[in-house]
Amino acid sequence: MFRLLCISLVFALSPLARAAELEFDFTQLSATNWLTQFRSVVAGEGKPGQWKIVLDEIVPRTALPQVTPLPPVKTDVLAQLAQDPTDKHYPMLIYQPEVFRDFKISLRFKTVSGVKEQMAGIVFRYQDEKNYYYVRASSLGKTFRWFKVSDGVLSDPIGLPMEIPADVWHDLSVECKGTQINCRLNDTAIPTLSDPTFSLGRLGFWTKSDSVSHFADVKITYTPHVTLAQLLVKDTLVKFPRLVGVRLTGQPEKDGELKVIASSVPEELGMVADNVTQAVFNRGATFYGRDKERDIVSVTLPLRDRNGEVVAAARIEMKSFLGQTDDSILARALPVKKGMQDKVLSAKDLYE
């Protein structure tokens, strides 16, 4: 139910020093975008969150200071509306398309209601429901705190006591550079944290228990993360320039769907694996294909880690030639596969 308002790439110093920017526009509603861009999860106990777009009043941001404060306007904002009073109930909404390493996220939030809790926050470097960081503000508890969840175990809090009035919009930001973490609420910052547990992960919105919270003005600036899988495809095409195409399919989420994780055709990223690719991944089989219209042949092979476990399916496309057999196709593809496989120690490596 979201659409990205803009995705801009800014180049600084060199093409390698690329920075990107995301802004979420909650006024653009689309059920398709909601399903493909975000995932609702719940950590701890209780029912999933209820994430919706609602109307609320907020003062627009301006680039220049205003002599006279601008009046609030009604606009669409993101809201978490579930009111499950379970104590260890943490509804989160995770942005799926991107994994972030070094980034800064800023947003505005408002705690609207809640009997047990009135909290809102940001979850970041998210791995799964049992491994992530988050920073949150509590209007009832009058605290601003950072936490780590590792293997489902919650760390001791680090933060500050402070007044955080409900039904008021507040500015919240998180910035990560390497192991350094900076969290700021309005004009108050938690002293810089250093934690090496999670080097990268996804970003999202966080609430707790029966908190009803609103979010708006979300902006993310980041250095795009290039995974090993993407580098393998890029380097392979340079090393073997006669190849027509290369595609790697893996399982980014534990027990999740098999998806294209790197490809010479960028539009294929995120595509769900077909039956052939699933058979290669699940059974370690090898499949051959011929496309007479494009005059190409292909072979899809298992890519294995150092322990011999299948961690990806590699599809290699080549120009066809007269009298070509499956054996000759395989002979051409094996050096390509070996060049990629030698660089993969584990499945996790492909996504870092």
The interaxial angle of helices 228-239 and 326-341, nearest 10 deg, is 130
CATH superfamily, domain 3-222, is Exo-inulinase; domain 1 (2.60.120.560)
Angstrom distance (rounded) from CA 107 to CA 121: 10
Q: Global pTM?
A: 0.72
The torsion angles phi and psi of 3, rounded to 5 degrees, stand at -135, 140
Q: Where are the domains of the chain?
A: 3-222, 228-351
Choices 3.40.190.10, 3.30.565.10, 3.30.450.40, 3.40.50.300: CATH for 228-351: 3.30.450.40
Token couple for 94: 């995770």
Tens digit of pLDDT per residue, the chain (352 long)?
Answer: 333 443 333 333 333 346 799 998 887 754 445 556 899 999 999 988 999 999 999 988 876 676 777 888 999 999 999 999 998 999 999 998 888 999 999 999 999 999 999 999 999 999 999 999 999 999 999 999 999 999 999 999 999 999 999 999 999 999 999 999 999 999 999 999 999 999 999 999 999 999 999 999 999 999 887 889 999 999 999 999 999 999 999 998 777 889 999 999 988 888 899 999 999 999 999 999 998 888 999 999 999 999 999 999 999 999 988 888 889 989 999 999 999 999 999 998 898 7
Q: Which amino acid is at 306?
A: R
C-alpha 171/C-alpha 184 separation (Å) is 8
Give yes or no for a contact between 119 and 139, defined as CB atoms under 8 angstroms apart.
yes
Select from 263, 258, 57 the least CA-distant residue to 169. Answer: 57
Contacts of 50 (CB under 8 A, 6+ apart): 80, 81, 82, 91
